[in-house]
Every structure is written in structure tokens, then in C-alpha cells.
Amino acid sequence: MKARLIFAAAVSLLLANTTQAAEIKLLASAALKAAYVELLPQFEMETGHKVTAAWSSSLVIQKRIVAGEDADLIIMADILGKSLTDELIKQGKLVASSPATFAKSGIGVAVRFGAPKPDISSADAVKKSILAAKSIAYSAGASGTYLVSMLQKLGIYDQVKSKVATVKPSEPVGEVVARGEAEIGFHQVSELLPVKGIQYLGPLPAELQNITVYSGGLHSGTKGAAAATALAKFLTAPSATPHSQEAWSGARLTASRNFGTMTFGKRKRARRLAAGGCLRWLVVMGATAAEHERHQSAGELNAIQL
């Protein structure tokens, strides 16, 4: 009799967990892929929910949602300071009470591995390096939209537009550079660092840098609002960003399971967390390539992304 009661309780618990579990469709900017593919399994393990993720450029995501595609949680990059999330809310495509900021990222520069390193130390140096290059590449997404405006402000867009390599939507610019189709590539740092066959030179200088905000919300047609909300909270939880959002001269360390930040003054804390296995990755925003390498070789970083 006792064995039957125990079996019945176990079955009841199993059925309850199965009932609570949901499948969540995440449609997000490809710039977040490298970090989120590591985070999503943890969310699934903690909640029992299953996340199906699709990655694309933010403008393409916006078009897909406007065209009627279903999803549960959408995350996109702001374009030149314009929030695509706000636009979709106004169109009734996203739940008005659900918007959240998920990440912030800067633009970096890379060349093919082994190639000469152009000077990107100042706006004038970047301008000269771009003019001297036989070809350049930038994305079809948020960073690419900014790059066009940057080239226009530098007064060289008409001079260089004929040597811009073709980059497909959602294609990492680093891969175009690695194939030798462009001498210099510009992309969100988070999308450059994981690519093999290139050398990351560092971020754009402060006077040219553009920090992209990634925001999003629940699709108005979601049938799994509770599960999608849980995922959004997981990706933006205070526990995921234990350190303040303050910056140190534009350079920030991002730690733990989200893009929360800590100042360079917290390096000792970062070392302890990394050594203890508490950090799976750290992000250095605004740091030079040499600083990235120094932190990694010193064992302070398990992996580097931005």
C-alpha cells in the first residue's frame, strides 16, 4: 500500500512538471547568439522549459514579426538610437508592459589572421586605414547601419562604397574577413571574437564608437506568456548582473550569465569569481586587443565575448 502511494505521488509530480513545462520560441539578434547558446541550456535545466531559438539581424526580425510570424520572446538591436521594440509595441505586435533591456554592445574591428594591423587608435587613423584598405566589410544589421552613417560623417562614404564587400543578412563579418574577401571588418565585438581565422584589433575609438542597446519583449500573440516572461527575467535577472552598470572610461567588464557590468576596479573580484568557476565568460567593452589577451593569458577570463 505504501509503495503504491509513493508511486502515485511520483507520477503526480512528474505529470505536474510536464504540465508546467512549455516550449518557448525566441527570435533574437544574432549578436547575442554566442552568449545565449551557453545560457539557454541553464534556463532549460532550471525550469524544465524548452527554448527554440532563431537568430537574425534586427531589421529582418522586425520585418518577420510585422509580416505575421509567431514567436514568444523577441530581442532586437536599436538602430541609430531608434527602438525597434517601441515600434512593434505601437503596432500591437509586442505586449506593451513587457519591454526590457537585455544587453549593450560596442563595435569592433578585425583583420584576417596574419595580415598587417591597421591603425585604429583615433578617428583620423580609422579614416586613413579605411581609405588605404582595398576592401572593407560591415554587417547588414544594426552595426552596419551605423557604419554607413560613420563613413558619411567622416566624409569618405562615396570614396569607399565601391569597395564594400557583400555580407549576407545574419552572416558574421568576421567570416567574410577570414575568407579574404575584405581587408578590414567592422561588427559587434560579440560577433567578431568567436570567429576563427581573424585577429581582433579592438573597439572603435571613443569618438567613433556606438553602443547598441538590445531590447525586446513578449509577442502579443504568445500562448506561453508565463514561460516567456520567465525566460526574459532569467536573461535580465539582478542575480545575473551582480555589479553596477557604471563604466570606467568607456571600458566595462561584463560578467556572469548576462551582460551586467562591473568596473575595471573590480578586477580582483573578477579573478576570484573566474577562479571559482562562477563566471563562464567575461566581456571587456572598450578594451584593446592586447588587454583582452593579457586578461585571458593571466587566467582571469574563461572566455571572452562582447
Q: Is the pLDDT score of 249 beyond 90?
A: no
Separation of alpha carbons 72 and 217, rounded Å: 8
User: Is the pLDDT higher at 51 or at 291?
Assistant: 51
Give yes or no for a contact between 135 and 129, defined as CB atoms under 8 angstroms apart.
no
pLDDT in tens, 4-29: 544 444 444 444 444 478 999 999 99
Q: Is the pLDDT score of 292 beyond 90?
A: no
Establish if 282 belongs to a structural domain. yes
Give, in order, the Cα–Cα distances in Å from 210 to each of 177, 255, 271.
Answer: 21, 21, 28
Residue 34, pLDDT score: 80
Per-residue confidence band for 35, with pLDDT thresholds at 50, 70 and 90: confident
Residue 39, pLDDT score: 87
Establish if 252 belongs to a structural domain. yes
| pLDDT, mean of residues 17-46 | 85
Residue 236, pLDDT score: 87
Q: Positive or negative, the Cα torsion across 152, 156, 159, 162?
A: negative
Range 255-263 contact pairs with CB under 8 angstroms and sequence separation of 24 or more: 255/279, 255/282, 255/283, 257/39, 257/42, 258/39, 258/102, 258/103, 259/35, 259/102, 259/103, 259/104, 259/105, 259/283, 261/285
Same-domain pairing of 199 and 291: no
Residue 91, pLDDT score: 96
Establish if 208 belongs to a structural domain. no
Q: Is the pLDDT score of 73 beyond 70?
A: yes
Question: Which residues form the domain of 175?
Answer: 107-203
User: Is the pLDDT higher at 305 or at 38?
Assistant: 38
| pLDDT, mean of residues 209-222 | 94
Q: Is the pLDDT score of 222 beyond 90?
A: yes
Same-domain pairing of 74 and 222: yes
The mean pLDDT value of the chain amounts to: 78
Establish if 58 belongs to a structural domain. yes
Establish if 259 belongs to a structural domain. yes
Same-domain pairing of 134 and 222: no
Per-residue confidence band for 238, with pLDDT thresholds at 50, 70 and 90: low
> Of 28-32, 84-88, 144-148, which gets the smallest average pLDDT?
28-32
User: Is the pLDDT higher at 62 or at 36?
Assistant: 62
Q: Is the pLDDT score of 293 beyond 60?
A: no
| pLDDT, mean of residues 264-277 | 39
Q: Is the pLDDT score of 255 beyond 80?
A: no
Q: Across the chain, which distance is largest between two alpha carbons, in Å?
A: 85
Residue 290, pLDDT score: 52
Cell, residue 220? 502579443
Same-domain pairing of 73 and 218: yes
> Buried (b) or exposed (e) across 127-148, using 16+ Cβ within 10 A?
bebbeebebbbbbbbbbbbbbe
Same-domain pairing of 90 and 152: no
Same-domain pairing of 164 and 38: no
Please identify, among 145, 179, 203, the residue that sits at the C-terminal boundary of a domain: 203
Same-domain pairing of 43 and 131: no
Residue 267, pLDDT score: 42
Cell, residue 172? 558574421
Q: Positive or negative, the Cα torsion across 38, 40, 44, 50?
A: negative
Nearest to 281 by CA among 291, 273, 293: 273
Residue 286, pLDDT score: 41
CATH number at residue 78: 3.40.190.10
Residue 36, pLDDT score: 87
Residue 134, pLDDT score: 97
Q: Is the pLDDT score of 240 beyond 90?
A: no
Same-domain pairing of 95 and 220: yes
Establish if 285 belongs to a structural domain. yes
- Number of compact structural domains in the chain: 3
Q: Are strands 23-29 and 50-56 parallel, antiparallel or unpaired?
A: parallel
Same-domain pairing of 26 and 175: no
Establish if 209 belongs to a structural domain. no
Same-domain pairing of 70 and 89: yes
Same-domain pairing of 178 and 114: yes
Put the strands of the sheet holding 252-255 in their side by side order.
260-262, 252-255, 283-285
> Buried (b) or exposed (e) across 78-107, using 16+ Cβ within 10 A?
bbeeebbbebbbeeebbbeebbbbbbbbbb
Separation of alpha carbons 46 and 37, rounded Å: 15
| pLDDT, mean of residues 64-84 | 94
pLDDT in tens, 98-137: 899 998 889 999 999 999 999 999 999 999 999 999 999 9
Backbone angles phi, psi at 260, to 5 degrees: -70, 160
Same-domain pairing of 20 and 86: yes
> Which residues are CB-neighbours of 143 under 8 A, at least 6 positions away?
31, 107, 186, 187, 188, 210, 212
Establish if 18 belongs to a structural domain. yes
User: Is the pLDDT higher at 228 or at 277?
Assistant: 228
Residue 80, pLDDT score: 84
